Amino acid sequence: MPTTQEENGASGALAAHLNARLGRNAEAQEAYDRAIGLCGDAAMRDFLAGRARQIRQL
């Protein structure tokens, strides 16, 4: 069962994705950074960091 921290990280990743799709890049970047900080899984952190880099390049 996910912990509250993992749930917050997942909701932050979802918020980041939705903000990016809406073109709200600053909000997406903040949400990705939050999700990365809360994520306990190294592979997921790497994935989120890659998405955050993509947003920064826009």
Structural domain of 34: 4-56
User: pLDDT of 10-57, one tens digit each?
Assistant: 888 999 999 999 999 999 999 999 999 998 899 999 999 999 999 999
What's the number of domains the chain is made of? 1
pTM: predicted TM-score of the whole model, two decimal places: 0.84
Q: Is the pLDDT of residue 1 over 60?
A: no
CA-based end-to-end distance of the chain: 36
